A and B are shown apart, each in its own frame.
Chain A
Amino acid sequence: GDSVTQMEGPVTLSEEAFLTINCTYTATGYPSLFWYVQYPGEGLQLLLKATKADDKGSNKGFEATYRKETTSFHLEKGSVQVSDSAVYFCALAGGTNAGKSTFGDGTTLTVKP
């Protein structure tokens, strides 16, 4: 079945540092890929998405590129802020399990001033 593997956390960075959170996936077909963010005590919010190979999703300074050849969708941001502290989930949908989503385990990011 489908699976998503995320870089283990927690990740602690200083403000304005560069962020990379690795994500790789296994799926059949042509899934869409997502990054969701969860702030403490809240539900998940869609951060960005990519629906086909070589697509780049971007939002709020975050970017991720759908790499089919490496089955990856790494999340990057050039300069993180304290307000970016949250849990980040990589996910896919539209693969083996059709409309269901498969989530990674989440990576906790803490940004210190």
Chain B
Amino acid sequence: GAVVSQHPSRVICKSGTSVKIECRSLDFQATTMFWYRQFPKQSLMLMATSNEGSKATYEQGVEKDKFLINHASLTLSTLTVTSAHPEDSSFYICSARPPGTVGYEQYFGPGTRLTVT
């Protein structure tokens, strides 16, 4: 149980275009999902907390107009990188927490490698 998927696994886009990344909880409903960014050989940086039916909560320093998050249903959250630039190239990982979890563990998607050319 507790499987989280992401799509696509890899995407290459041109500078100035937008790209959407989907995160789905496959066998549970997730009222809260998290979006992280990971740079090479570095730890995860929390970008935002995605809340079903309400606005996402962004971490300090993360541009909400650039990284649009929509949590449209209890099993789907999307991250749209708008007007992407090469510096947005990174590994983006989502996670979710099944309801009733004792101890706050998270289940992670496999990640999306974004390359902006």
Given contacts A99-B32, A105-B43, A106-B43, contact A44 B105 (CB under 8 A): no
Residues on B with beta carbons closer than 8 Å to the beta carbon of A105? 42-43
Q: When each residue 61-80 of chain B gets 1 if its CB lies under 8 Å from chain A and 0 otherwise, what string results?
A: 00000000000000000000
A60 in the interface, Cβ–Cβ < 8 Å?
no
The answer on a CB contact under 8 Å between B42 and A106 is yes
CA–CA, A18 and B108, complex, Å = 28
CA–CA, A46 and B111, complex, Å = 15
Closest residue on chain B to residue A104 by CB atoms = B43
The answer on a CB contact under 8 Å between A42 and B105 is no
CA–CA, A46 and B95, complex, Å = 11
**Interface secondary structure of A, over-half rule:** strand
The answer on a CB contact under 8 Å between B105 and A46 is yes
Q: By CB atoms of chain B within 10 A, which of A41, A44, A94 has the most?
A: A44
CA–CA, A51 and B49, complex, Å = 22
Q: What total of chain B residues lie within 8 Å of the partner, measured CB to CB?
A: 24
Given contacts A43-B108, A100-B49, contact A89 B97 (CB under 8 A): no
CA–CA, A99 and B107, complex, Å = 13
The answer on a CB contact under 8 Å between A43 and B109 is yes
Closest residue on chain A to residue B106 by CB atoms = A101
Residues on A with beta carbons closer than 8 Å to the beta carbon of B110? 42-43
Residues on A with beta carbons closer than 8 Å to the beta carbon of B100? none
The answer on a CB contact under 8 Å between B111 and A42 is yes
Given contacts A51-B102, A99-B97, contact A46 B107 (CB under 8 A): yes
The answer on a CB contact under 8 Å between A34 and B111 is no
The answer on a CB contact under 8 Å between B104 and A32 is yes
Of the candidates B41, B42, B104, the one whose C-beta lies within 8 Å of that of A94 is B104
Q: When each residue 66-93 of chain A gets 1 if its CB lies under 8 Å from chain B and 0 otherwise, what string results?
A: 0000000000000000000000010001
Sort A-B residue pairs by CB-CB distance and give the 7 closest, nearest first: A93-B104, A32-B103, A43-B108, A51-B103, A44-B108, A43-B111, A43-B110
